[in-house]
Amino acid sequence: MSIKDLFKKNKIKNKARNTNKHEEHDVPEGIMTKCPECRHVELTKDLVKDLKVCSKCDHHYKMTAQERVAIFFDEGTFKSLDDHLQSVNPLEFPSYIEKVKSDIKKTGLNEAVLTGVGELEGKQIVVAIMDSHFRMGSMGSVVGEKITRAIEDATELGAPFIIFTASGGARMQEGVLSLMQMAKTSVALQRHSAEGNLFISIMTHPTTGGVSASFASLGDINLAEPKALIGFAGRRVIEQTVREKLPEDFQTAEFLLAHGQLDAVVNRKDMRKTVSTIVKLHVKEAN
Amino acid sequence: MVKYLPFEAPLMQLSEKINELKDFTANADVDMSLEIKQLEDRFSKLAKDIYDNIQPWDRVQIARHPERPTTKDYINAIFEDFIELHGDRNFGDDEAIVGGIASFEGRPITIIGHQRGKDTKENIRRNFGMPHPEGYRKALRLMKQAEKFSRPIICFIDTKGAYPGKAAEERGQSEAIARNLFEMAGLKVPVISVVIGEGGSGGALALGVANQIHMLENATYSVISPEGAASILWKDATLAQKAAEAMRITAPNLKEMGIIEEIIPEVLGGAHKDVAQQALNLKAVLSNSLEQLQSFTSEELVQNRYDKFRTVGVYAE
């Protein structure tokens, strides 16, 4: 018997133990969720109950548009708008429509924003919720059109318009048409504002580029979720231009707040209450 | 001396030959004037052929030409009594944007435009025409001033984009651009924007919410530079030439999409070949454009701007 054989038994034992270990953790996928920030593991069920905010480090997980509807509106009041609009391929970019179609299937949305009318503590509001799971929340013609129609509906109803932004910016595949959506949404917001209506912008992770440089920054009140990335230019681009290391918290919601660019950073758990209070304080006198 | 661009190489070679022959004729007894004449005919034919078949990437090169006329060149050539007005009253004066008041065909007017430098020193001072937030806020201040005194506003767009820097982010680059889009929408005076060189993304659009938008024939207007598009879409910035075509950024492209009103013809080979003539071409379009908008009431102007941008976008219902 060689020395090597002495350890053979252990090896087999270990192997068996490992298999057991593996089986122990072989729970169905999705039951547990590990926080990408602090690695804290908790039951997905509990996480959802906590509005997808990590119970240990307060990390705000990304949310789908439908998840936001569920936690934001008075139950059963939300009615979606313009679900029938479809992106086309104006610049004839190869495989663009295939990508859009695959995201329609993945998210259950017709585009990167869900718009609709509903009630918040009994007050009628019009809301647009961007979803970064759909083409990074990028804005092309349909996103611009849906948001503009929602703003126009709010103006007509004299109701507050509220947007949750989540977007990497303008959608490259629609070229300058995407850029012009920044102007389109802004002219609609100007009219909404000129008629004395309220607009609240809530920036969530991430809000950058053309979306940050248009409606996201145009709220009468601009709020953001904690740690959300908000900025005009990408971090890498800036580092290459200025050739210096940027601070850790650069372009976070807290950084913007400190530089006077936000009204408040609001925890997701307090968002509904905060927004409904703001809405209540802006109710037009019924003359 | 005007530099030739890569796609103009055959022209440059021919022009050198012609000059050689001219030198030779001047210094020798042989008369080569017939040959020179023939070559010159060939030159103009070749020039027409090259410029008639100009590709998007060639236009990008012309739009970026270091000697391409800038906002200040057109201000000097087209307007009278120009007085430059500085500063945003909050932070500083951003020299990447110039603005002021002047007289155009006898009428007071406000002019605002991106300003590149003509040499390295001036380019550093003007940050290569890439504004910080205070530049956009200066522009907005001058627009509001124009509105108070019922002066039409003319904007010249010529920028690679808003500056992507640390200080720009700290002072709210996004908000400054967004604010201009919003406020321009409501201006009660005529606004005309002309893309004279590069129209780079949000930094260009921040001077672009106008009643009428015109583009010089070789100007570009895009959501991202061809290099940026290539590196995002194909992870390879060297495919910029391909991206320039795919992204549809030229004046004819934008006219076709219904985003701009008029294409302002450029002198053969590009605006830098004859600045005085180019200024005349631009002036004619501005004059006509102002004439059209002069009869609008302030409500009609706001409505007109609304309708112009409201209809941009392609989708299926």
Q: Which SS3 state, helix, strand or coil, does residue A80 take?
A: strand
- Between CA B103 and CA B80 the distance in angstroms is 5
Entry pTM: 0.92
Which has the higher per-residue pLDDT, A162 or B236? Answer: A162
- Between CA A133 and CA A245 the distance in angstroms is 30
Q: Which residues of chain A make contact with B249, given a CB cutoff of 8 A?
A: 175-176
Q: Is A51 annotated for ligand binding?
A: no
Which has the higher per-residue pLDDT, B9 or A3? Answer: B9
Residue of chain A nearest B249, judged by CA positions:
A176
**ipTM at complex level:** 0.94
Beta carbons of A184 and B310 less than 8 angstroms apart = yes
Q: Look at A104-118, A241-255, B27-41 and tell me which has the smallest mean pLDDT.
A: B27-41
Helix (H) / strand (E) element for B101: namely strand B97-104
Q: Measured in whole angstroms, how far is the alpha carbon of residue B255 from the centre of its chain?
A: 15
Q: How confident is the model at residue B1 (pLDDT cuts 50, 70, 90)?
A: very low
pLDDT reported for residue B257:
95
A168: left (phi over 0), alpha (psi -120 to 50) or beta: alpha
Contact state of A191 with B306 under an 8 Å Cβ cutoff = yes
Q: Look at A15-19, B171-175, B186-190 and tell me which has the smallest mean pLDDT.
A: A15-19
Residue among B178, B223, B315 whose CB faces A217 most closely = B178
Nearest Cα to Cα of residue B302 among A9, A179, A244, A188: A188
Q: Look at A6-20, A40-54, A189-203, A270-284 and tell me which has the smallest mean pLDDT.
A: A6-20
Residue B244 has pLDDT above 80, yes or no: yes
Nearest Cα to Cα of residue B101 among B92, B93, B109: B109
Instruction: Report which residue type is found at A164.
Output: F
Residue of chain A nearest B253, judged by CA positions:
A176
Q: What average pLDDT score do residues B191-206 get?
A: 97
Contact state of A231 with B174 under an 8 Å Cβ cutoff = yes
Residue A23 has pLDDT above 60, yes or no: no
CA distances from B199 to A91, B70, B139 (A): 18, 13, 16
- Between CA A200 and CA A198 the distance in angstroms is 7
Residue among B163, B185, B201 whose CB faces A179 most closely = B201
| Tally: H helices and E strands in chain B | 14, 9
- Between CA A284 and CA B17 the distance in angstroms is 79
pLDDT reported for residue B29:
76
CB-facing half-sphere around the CA of B163: CA atoms within 13 A = 28
The per-residue pLDDT for range B263-309, each reduced to its tens digit, is 999 998 999 999 999 999 999 999 999 999 999 999 999 999 999 99
Residue of chain B nearest A251, judged by CA positions:
B169
Q: What average pLDDT score do residues A14-25 get?
A: 52
Contact state of B178 with A148 under an 8 Å Cβ cutoff = no
The per-residue pLDDT for range B107-157, each reduced to its tens digit, is 999 999 999 999 999 999 999 999 999 999 999 999 999 999 999 999 999
pLDDT reported for residue B24:
83
User: Looking at chain B, how many residues does it have?
Assistant: 317
Both structure tokens of A114: 């869900």
CA of A265 to nearest chain B CA: how many angstroms apart?
A: 16
Q: Is A35 annotated for ligand binding?
A: yes
The per-residue pLDDT for range B64-90, each reduced to its tens digit, is 999 999 999 999 999 999 999 999 999
Contact state of B181 with A87 under an 8 Å Cβ cutoff = no
CA of A237 to nearest chain B CA: how many angstroms apart?
A: 7
pLDDT reported for residue B295:
94
Residue A1 has pLDDT above 70, yes or no: no
pLDDT reported for residue A240:
83
Residue among A142, A178, A186 whose CB faces B181 most closely = A186
Residue of chain A nearest B174, judged by CA positions:
A213
Contacts of B199 (CB under 8 A, 6+ apart): B157, B158, B159, B205, B208, B215, B219, B220, B221, B222
Q: What average pLDDT score do residues B204-228 get?
A: 96
CA distances from A186 to A229, B137, B178, B305 (A): 22, 17, 8, 11
Contact state of A91 with B312 under an 8 Å Cβ cutoff = no
Per-residue DSSP letter, A173: G
- Between CA B284 and CA B307 the distance in angstroms is 25
Q: Which long-range contacts (CB under 8 A, 24 or more apart) does B39-42 make?
A: B39/B14, B42/B14
pLDDT reported for residue A4:
66
Cβ–Cβ contacts within 10 Å for residue B75, how many? 21
Contact state of B202 with A210 under an 8 Å Cβ cutoff = yes
Cβ density class B49-69: b for 16+ within 10 Å, e for less: ebbeebebbbbbbbbbbeebb
Nearest Cα to Cα of residue A154 among A252, A6, A282: A282
Best residue in B182, B231, B306 for a mutation probing chain A (most A CBs within 10 Å): B182
CA of A274 to nearest chain B CA: how many angstroms apart?
A: 23
Q: What average pLDDT score do residues B223-236 get?
A: 87
- Between CA A87 and CA A141 the distance in angstroms is 7
Contact state of A183 with B209 under an 8 Å Cβ cutoff = yes
pLDDT reported for residue A8:
67
Residue B6 has pLDDT above 90, yes or no: no
Contact state of A214 with B259 under an 8 Å Cβ cutoff = no
Best residue in B181, B255, B298, B311 for a mutation probing chain A (most A CBs within 10 Å): B181
Residue of chain A nearest B230, judged by CA positions:
A172
The per-residue pLDDT for range B34-64, each reduced to its tens digit, is 888 888 899 999 988 888 889 999 999 999 9
Residue A55 has pLDDT above 50, yes or no: yes
List phi, psi (to 5°) of A92: 55, 50
pLDDT reported for residue A287:
45
Burial class (CB in 10 A: 0-12, 13-18, 19+), B22: middle
List phi, psi (to 5°) of A240: -70, -35
Angle at A87 between CA A84 and CA A88, to 5 degrees: 125
